[in-house]
Structure 1
Amino acid sequence: MKTKRKASSVLLGALALLMLITGCSQPGNNSGSSSSGDSPETSSSSADVTMGTGGSAVGFIFVGTKDDYGYNQAAYLGSVAVEEAYPDLKVLRAENVPETAEAERVMEQMIKDGAKIIFPTSYGHLEPALNVAKRHPDVVFFHQGGLKTANNVGTYFGTIWEPVYLAGVAAGKMSPTGKLGYIVSVPIPQVLLNVNAFTLGARSVNPDATTSVVFTGSWCDPGQQANATNSLIDSGADVISLHQDCMKTVIETAERRDVMTVGYHADASSLAPNGWITGSLWNWPELFVEMVKTAQDGQFKGSKFDGKYRGTLADNVVQLGSFGANVPADVVQYVEDQKKALLEGTLLPFAGPVKDQSGEVRIAEGETPTVEQLEGSDYLVEGVVGSIPK
């Protein structure tokens, strides 16, 4: 990864500690108990507590664990950056918060504990956040990945499909058979968009490549992940990727079976020294600090975060991960050239014509969809094997 952001010793220490973890302990997206944002380690400030200014605390809720080698770990590292940037601001965290009314209870407790800024980080935390926001118009909510906003609720995300497309290019180059596997959670638009981007990337270098997709119905269920990984490998897939919150089980299962992998959310290359190709990563620290500063300064209304903010590959909010040791130099160079073209705007991954599985043209020739249109994806592209659960 070629990021040049300034990292402090605290953030580096947190990352080093996380990468020593050897287990992904979250049992599933709707199981596990939630905490109420306890054990903050910093002192509170005496700043104003009107909407968007001051407040003694900032709260982060995660649907899984902070050491999942994935979605929650990436968001957790962003919270560490906030903790470091604001040593006088309490940072409240709650792990394993389900996407139910329990999320409302956790956020309400954080507000009681002084939070004037809250980050609900899972897709399914949006409705609970909107409900709490109505009751607390003086609190600013930054929801991760949401498609709806409110007066005091902004959403943020990134065009992660850009590095996913590039990772698909790498997978297409590396696969001897052109048979790829993709393990996903539930058929929300962002999941479908990533499967499509990955497939389009692979087929840009191998028009006969196919992506077999398995929906687990869960953001992190190691048992289901192991079964899905083995099933895809048994059916001939020689590269496995995923859109799951945690990666450890999938990456390690594929590694044991000498199958290559493409990661998502956070760098899990240490789990697959032989089979890791690359990954699509979130880079939240600088963005989280900027969002907190915007709210702390009373500048949320009218800011770029007051609505749907989407960072890009050019913004360094989303990144293409490091390449594995066994990826040939010519493949690395080809993917890097594609990345350059994407950044320059000469490569448009979803430029039409794009057909769905039935052969229907979803993006017409000469058309380039907007980010909003892509985030409304409700189909799988030609080359994907498997159907969308009803």
Structure 2
Amino acid sequence: MKLTKLLATGAVALGLATGAWAQDKTKVGFVYVGPVGDGGWTYEHDKGRQAVEKEFGDKVETVFVESVPEGPDAERVMTQMALDGADLIFTTSFGYMDPTINVAKKFPDVKFEHATGYKTAPNVSVYSARFYEGRAVQGHIAGKMTESNIVGYIGSYPIPEVVRGINSAFIHARKANPDVQFKIVWAYTWFDPAKEADAAKVLIEQGADVILQHTDSTAPQAAAQDAGNVITFGQASDMSEYKPKPRVSSIIDNWAPYYIARTQAVMDGTWESTSTWDGIREGMVEIGEITDAVPADVKEEAVALMNSIANGEYHPFTGPLKKQDGSDWLAEGETADDGTLAGMNFYVEGLEGEIPQ
């Protein structure tokens, strides 16, 4: 009887210890707009999640839900994560902004991190990367390498982040080649391989021999490969399976250091609501290998441009620049402020077409 009681007491003690150990784990959730195997945006965010697991081992538990539509369903997924005990939740697409704010109000003890948005709260931070810095480098290569003088651009949604990228790429393509024209097709999706492939094919039919994309799958790369003499750039991830051509370089989003730092802050009790917007200098934006399909002199110029952005010598939005309607925007040597860039809703001079409303 005494032995039985002793064993029972020991089992209870072990159970309590195990429970306490489990509670010591920091639970980190990730809400993804696409599948983790998209080869682009979500793939890189999930690499960041895996880096958190590698960094902290048994001290963390990570969970994720992929292919969550932007809208009411996102709010449901975030709510369930919070109810399931998440201490920190990363919501990784612009359209999750309002759902993140709504759910954060209901769970004031849970920390939220929203990617690419601008609304904060005491328990909501925002973070994004200066993708437009990478677009400047891509634009230079595109302007130098196009033979048709037509560059195609697949836009996802007409939000400031995407408009910034189009403007930056165009400005630097025009600097490299004053005869360049941009043709823009809006796919109205972040990830839909069929739509992205169709958009690429339309642009190629219209004479584009360079395709840039702000969508997440590798479908435009495949379409360019099928077409033959068309070059592309990896979006969000290296998309290295398509190099050395059509994919001649890429923008790579490196989220791992940020995710590790913010998880550590929750563990330490030092987490605060912040706004982070980092670029090439900080390593959040990386330029993937520029392949030998790019002429040596063009590659050298692109690397020099990347380095000048990284060391702060050059800002991709430096005047003189006018808006599409011909009105003055930036004077000679003047650079764009972050507020204007964050809300950018206009094309620069020379771009054709209107931004959809």
Instruction: Kindly indicate whether the alpha-carbon contact (under 8 Å) linking 1:269 and 1:324 is maintained by their aligned counterparts in 2.
Output: no
Higher relative helix content: 2
Match of 2:5 in 1: none
Q: Does 1:197 pair with 2:168?
A: yes
Displacement of 1:329: 1.8
Superposed CA deviations along residues 17-67 of structure 1, whole A, max 9, x for unmatched, are: xxxxxxxxxxxxxxxxxxxxxxxxxx997477xxxxx66411001011011
The structural deviation recorded for 1:134 is 0.2
The aligned residue for residue 8 of structure 2 is none
Q: Partner amino acid for 1:379?
A: F
For the pair 1:102 / 2:69, whether they are aligned, the reply is: no
For residues 20 and 260 of structure 2, the distance between their equivalents in structure 1, rounded to whole angstroms, comes to 17
- Mapped pair 1:318 → 2:292: no
Equivalent residue letter for 2:220? V
Match of 1:77 among 24, 47, 59: 47
CA distance in 2, matches of 1:93, 1:298: 23
Shift of 1:272: 4.4
* Rounded Cα–Cα distance in structure 1 between residues aligned with 2:267 and 2:174: 46
Q: Deviations over 1:86-116 (max 9, x none)?
A: 2221111100111112112111221222211
The SS at the match of 2:53 is helix
SS in 1 for 2:57: coil
Asked if 2 retains the 8 angstrom alpha-carbon contact of 1:171 and 1:277, the reply is: no
Q: How does 1:145-224 map to 2 (within 5 A)?
A: 145-224=116-195
> TM (normalized to structure 2)?
0.90
CA contact (8 A) 2:281 2:309 kept: no
Q: 2:246 aligns with which of 275, 278, 300?
A: 275
Aligned mate of 2:319, from 343, 348, 352: 352
Deviations, residues 290-314 of structure 1 (Å, cap 9, x unaligned): 111012211112xxxx221111211
| Per-residue deviation, 1:271 | 2.4
2:26–2:267 Cα contact (<8 Å) kept: no
Please state if 1:61 is matched with 2:28. no
SS of the residue aligned with 2:182? strand
The 1-side partners of 2:235 and 2:19 are apart by 35
Deviations 1:159-195 (Å, cap 9, x if unpaired)? 1111110111111111122210000111100000000
Structure 1: which 5+ runs fail to align? 1-42, 49-53
In structure 2, the gaps of 5 or more residues are 1-17
Q: 1:382 to 1:66 in 2, by over 3 A?
A: same
Deviation (angstroms), 1:324:
2.4
SS state at 1:380 partner: coil
The one-letter code of the counterpart of 2:325 is S
Aligned residues: 338
Q: Distance in 1 between matches of 2:51 and 2:19?
A: 17
- Identity across aligned pairs (percent)? 36
Relative to 1, partners in 2 of residues 1:382 and 1:244: Cα closer, same or farther, differing over 3 Å?
same
Distance apart, 1:366 and its partner CA? 3.6
Cα distance in structure 2, aligned partners of 1:45 and 1:277? 52
Aligned pairs for 1:1-390 (under 5 A) are 46=21, 56-88=26-58, 89-246=60-217, 248-258=218-228, 259-301=230-272, 306-390=273-357
